[in-house]
Structure 1
């Protein structure tokens, strides 16, 4: 039984924004994989829903003229994973969202909803962080674009205003070209599980494949929000692909995180995961980039 007061289905982005302006407490719903669960649990009982499901403006994945990849906020996880542009240019994102929930959830859950939920455990979040994703928000005031690392404020909190709608996610060409990455999700089981820790690592190697030109490292559930590890990224530039580099990479990652204990895992266990997953994700990213870690 779902206890909600009203359900309003809109046909365009402008209609959705207008409806949000008129209803201060209304909640946006697309796939419903998060919102309907909260309603059933009584957390949002009696709410009003504004459905943006299947608005054409929010669908599609396109390659823009400047090489930017544009992903509509209402694209489902399944659609993202199986899109040819994603597979060719940013396979790390497709692999990451393919680990969300189970097949049924991935058919209805949307990448925009995953972001706007504000959860540090979101499988899309840490990967979008290392891709330097730009979020396009629209309201009556107009359209503005913000980096994803400025979007999260705390657990379940984002800077999105009530009357704003996330319309698309953009990944500039300079942030994915010759950039190879890997996402690792650790959970108690392999499917239908919220991440105990998520780690995304990406690299751009030197032409001879022996040094790191750029590395990016991001975590989910290692802090109140998804985080990028800026200090370790700066330290790693120019380093040779040696075994001791990988070991130091894992240890330095510990300096930039602040996980907490919860019923899923203790802080101490998450710290072990932070170090180990950093090394594993780095090694796999280097392999995808055509490099090899020397003993």
Structure 2
């Protein structure tokens, strides 16, 4: 039994924005794989809903004229992982969302919903953070562009204003060009489980492929929100491809994370995971880029 109050079903993005302005307390219903569960559990009982799932304007992926990748928020996880633009330029994003739930969830769940939930365990979040994604947030007053790095305000809290709808996620060309990434999700089960800890790394190697030109690394469930590790990134800059690189990244990551103890894992175990996943994901990303870790 789904106990909600009113259900609005706009037929265009413009109508959806008007409804959001008139009813700022109403919740947006996309795939529903999260919000319907909360309504059924009683956590959101009696809420108003604006169903945007049928708005095809908010679905799809394309390569823009400037080379940036535009992902519309209603694109399902399955469509993200299967799309040729994603496979060709940021395959790590597809690999990450392929680890969400099971096939049914991936078919109905949306990439925008995964971000707007604001949870630290979102499998797409770390990869978007490492690729400097920019969010397109639209209201009746126009479009607000916000770096994804500034979107998460706290556990389950994001910088989405009451009259706004996310209409796009952009990955700049300079962030993905000549980069290779790897995502590792550690969970208690191999499937149908949320992350105990997640780590996404991408690297761009020097022309000689013997050192790091740029490294980006982010973690999920290592802090109240998905976070980038700037200390690890700085320690890797210009570093030779050797065992010391992996240790520098692993130790640097510890300076930025603040994991907690939960029923899934202790703080101490998560700290161990941070170091080990940082090593493994970095090594895998380097190898995908054509490099070899020596020593």
**TM-score, normalised to structure 1's length?**
0.98
**Mapping of 1:147-158 within 5 angstroms?**
147-158=147-158
Q: Give the aligned partner of residue 56 of structure 2.
A: 56
SS in 1 for 2:223: coil
For 1:205, the equivalent position in structure 2 comes to 205
Q: Secondary structure at the match of 1:256?
A: coil
How far apart in 1 are the matches of 2:248 and 2:146? 33
**TM superposition outliers: structure 1 runs of 4+ over 4 Å:** none
Distance in structure 2 (CA, Å) of the matches to 1:229 and 1:250: 10
Aligned to 1:179: 179
* Equivalence for 1:219: 219
- Which structure 2 residues correspond to residues 6-155 of structure 1 after superposition, within 5 A? 6-155=6-155
Q: Distance in 1 between matches of 2:62 and 2:283?
A: 30
Which residue does the alignment assign to 1:265?
265
Shift of 1:158: 0.4
Question: Are 2:93 and 2:124, in contact at CA under 8 Å, matched by a contact in 1?
Answer: yes
Shift of 1:24: 3.0
Aligned pair count reads 295
Identify unmatched segments of 5+ residues in structure 2.
none
Paired residue secondary structure (1:15): helix
Aligned to 1:290: 290
- Determine the C-alpha separation between the residues in 1 that align with 2:24 and 2:178: 45
Provide the rounded CA distance (Å) in 2 between the counterparts of 1:184 and 1:78. Answer: 18
- Pick which of 152-161 and 248-257 moved more: 248-257
Match of 1:256 in 2: 256
1:192: which partner in 2?
192
Report the Cα offset of residue 123 of structure 1. 0.4
Gapped regions of structure 1 (runs ≥ 5): none
Q: Distance in 1 between matches of 2:58 and 2:197?
A: 30
Matched, 1:228 2:228: yes
Take 2:269 and 2:17, find their aligned partners in 1: how far apart are those partners? 43
Aligned to 1:161, the other structure's residue is in SS state: coil
Root-mean-square deviation (CA, aligned residues, Å) is 0.8
1:148 Cα deviation from its structure 2 partner:
0.4
Q: Deviations over 1:111-165 (max 9, x none)?
A: 0000000001000100000011010000012101111010000000001011100
Q: In the aligned structure 2, how far is the partner of 1:237 from the partner of 1:248?
A: 10
CA–CA distance in structure 2, aligned partners of residues 61 and 88 of structure 1: 12
